[in-house]
């Protein structure tokens, strides 16, 4: 995707997306904030659109990837989001209620309330790794908050995009939900529109361009990005169990997940044991790869070449690279775009694999002596989307949590920080800004407007505008002296 727009890009992409936005903006202004019943019904239709056509989505995603597990698609793309959708739907009415921030102020004749109000039209730009899940969940949150929604699907998974566009037209009026498809020119036109909020899931590099394009119209953005997610095996961990779980976590969707483990720190005294257990588990899991319909391929040749390039760069710079390809199978096949699980040791900071998010079935392994080495390394880099710890909830774990920064922390399992339906999910720093899931999503797509009324027998402006009476001057001076006394006392002065 090339942003921002240039004059050479087709006007049709710009015009079509803008007309949809104007249609939704007009409908929002005409109808006003929808009722709780309307919001829930929109979420119900969104859910039905997916569930009624689950088999069609599986077929489209398998075709887009070349090889991707149908069972994995059903679980990760569809089943995995149902609890969040249900939680969102069931809490819409309670989240919509105004709150009274200062109950005691009523006694003084001031009534204040904070009203969650919809923003208007939300734009959502989806990724290719989970092209269904990662547009449906933010769309449901935007509906819960009372907004209209426009979605730009990834052109990399074109069949899934076209299917979603066709189904959206069957289940929704375009003034409620519209799905836009197309390549980089359409994406550029979409992100340059004056939405009321823009939600993007993808890489940090493209996230920067999206934020820059949105800034031209002062559009607030939520960026769900990625990063190099560290894994720390604690000294008190069950080494075999940790290796087995980390092996499986790295291979979810062929490693093409923003919350996949990227590199692993292992106590040096357990390094050989861990590496052996990891190697055994991966070979046991994948006795064959090229003919395995459940082994996910790289989504396209560009991503395949990028991951292979990371491996070869590490090898050239002196790392030890171990492919766990089955006997008589290649380490990587450009025709099937399948890359065998690969372990890299002896990693140094000048290697690309040490700096770039891998997004493939590759794990870099690093020994450590002291926990401070680990926390120092993680803290010195960009904040990851998730940090993993394997071992008990002990003092070392709490030190790791306290001395590092990440979007979330998961202990002893893959992505479990995403399991609670009402827990916010999002990144921090280089891994993103803003959050969604549960009420966090409702709040992201709402403006919390303060409404205050006065029944005081005098205007507040009488205290702020001249002329100032001697009584008021003395009162202000007394208030300042009292505040200064409190501050000095708290500081022990």
How do the pLDDT tens digits run along the chain, 493 residues long?
A: 434 444 444 456 567 889 999 999 999 999 999 999 999 999 999 999 999 999 999 999 999 999 999 999 999 999 999 999 999 999 999 999 999 887 777 767 788 899 999 999 999 999 999 999 999 999 999 999 999 999 999 999 999 999 999 999 999 999 999 999 999 889 989 999 999 999 999 999 999 999 999 999 999 999 999 889 999 999 999 999 999 999 999 999 999 999 999 999 999 999 999 999 999 999 999 999 999 999 999 999 999 999 999 999 999 999 999 999 999 999 999 999 999 999 999 999 999 999 999 999 999 999 999 999 999 999 999 999 999 999 999 999 999 999 999 999 999 999 999 988 889 999 999 999 999 999 999 999 999 999 988 888 888 787 788 888 898 889 999 999 999 999 999 999 8
Determine whether 258 is an active site residue: yes
Catalytic residue (choose from 258, 260, 281, 357)? 258
- Alpha-carbon span 344 to 220, nearest angstrom: 40
Burial label for 81, CB within 10 Å (0-12, 13-18, 19+), is buried
**Segments of 350-464 assigned E as strands:** 362-368, 386-390, 408-411, 432-433, 446-454
Kindly report the length of the chain.
493
- Alpha-carbon span 381 to 355, nearest angstrom: 9
Q: What letter would DSSP give residue 427?
A: -
The answer to whether 242 touches 233, Cβ cutoff 8 Å, is yes
Helix (H, G, I), strand (E, B) or coil at 470: helix
- Alpha-carbon span 481 to 213, nearest angstrom: 49
Catalytic residue (choose from 77, 224, 281, 357)? 224
Helix residue ranges, H only, 433-469: 438-444
Sequence-distant (6+) residues with CB within 8 A of 51 are 78
pLDDT of residue 156: 96
Q: What DSSP string describes 246-306?
A: HHHHHTGGGG--TTS--EEEEEGGGHHHHHHHHHHHHHHH-S--TT-TTSPPPSSHHHHHH
Residue entry with tokens 């029944």: 455
Q: Strands 148-152 and 332-333, how do they pair?
A: unpaired
**Which structure tokens are listed for 301?**
């040749």
- Alpha-carbon span 189 to 182, nearest angstrom: 10
């Amino acid at each position: 995707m090339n942003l921002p727009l240039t004059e050479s890009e087709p006007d049709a992409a710009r015009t079509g997306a803008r007309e949809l936005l104007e249609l939704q903006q007009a409908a929002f202004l005409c109808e006003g904030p929808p009722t709780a019943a309307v919001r829930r019904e929109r979420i119900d239709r969104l859910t039905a659109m997916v569930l009624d056509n689950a088999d069609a989505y599986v077929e489209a995603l398998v075709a887009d990837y070349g090889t991707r597990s149908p069972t994995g698609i059903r679980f990760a793309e569809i089943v995995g989001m149902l609890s969040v959708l249900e939680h969102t739907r069931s809490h819409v009415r309670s989240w919509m209620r105004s709150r009274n921030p200062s109950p005691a102020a009523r006694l003084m004749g001031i009534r204040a309330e904070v009203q969650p109000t919809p923003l208007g039209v939300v734009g959502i730009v989806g990724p290719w790794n989970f092209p269904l899940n990662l547009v449906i969940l933010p769309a449901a949150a935007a509906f819960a908050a009372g907004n209209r929604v426009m979605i730009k699907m990834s052109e990399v998974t074109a069949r899934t995009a076209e299917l979603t566009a066709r189904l959206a037209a069957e289940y929704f009026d375009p003034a409620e939900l519209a799905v836009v498809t197309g390549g980089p020119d359409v994406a550029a036109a979409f992100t340059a529109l004056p939405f009321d909020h823009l939600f993007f899931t993808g890489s940090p590099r493209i996230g920067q361009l999206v934020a820059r394009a949105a800034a031209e119209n002062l559009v607030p953005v939520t960026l769900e990005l990625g990063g190099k997610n560290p894994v720390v095996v604690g000294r008190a961990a069950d080494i075999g169990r940790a290796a087995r779980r980390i092996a499986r976590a790295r291979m979810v969707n062929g490693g093409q997940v923003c919350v996949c483990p990227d590199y692993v720190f292992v106590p040096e005294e357990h390094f050989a044991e861990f590496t052996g257990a990891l190697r055994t588990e991966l070979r046991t899991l994948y006795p064959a790869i090229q003919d395995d319909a459940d082994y996910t391929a790289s989504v396209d040749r560009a991503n395949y070449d990028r991951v292979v390039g990371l491996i070869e760069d590490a090898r050239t710079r002196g790392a030890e690279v171990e492919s766990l390809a089955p006997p008589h199978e290649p380490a990587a096949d450009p025709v099937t775009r399948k890359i065998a699980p690969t372990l890299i040791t002896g990693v140094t900071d000048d290697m690309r694999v040490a700096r770039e998010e891998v997004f493939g079935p590759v794990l870099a392994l690093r020994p450590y002596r002291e926990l401070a080495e680990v926390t120092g390394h993680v803290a010195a880099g960009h904040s990851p989307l998730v940090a993993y710890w394997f071992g008990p909830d002990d003092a070392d774990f709490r030190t790791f949590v306290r001395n590092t920064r990440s979007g979330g922390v998961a202990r002893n399992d893959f992505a479990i920080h995403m399991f609670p339906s009402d827990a916010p999910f999002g990144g921090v720093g280089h891994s993103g800004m803003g959050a969604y899931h549960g009420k966090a999503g409702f709040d992201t797509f709402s403006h919390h407007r303060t409404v205050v009324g006065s029944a005081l027998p005098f205007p507040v402006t009488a205290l702020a505008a001249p002329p100032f009476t001697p009584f008021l001057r003395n009162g202000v001076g007394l208030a300042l002296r009292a505040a200064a006394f409190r501050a000095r006392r708290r500081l022990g002065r």
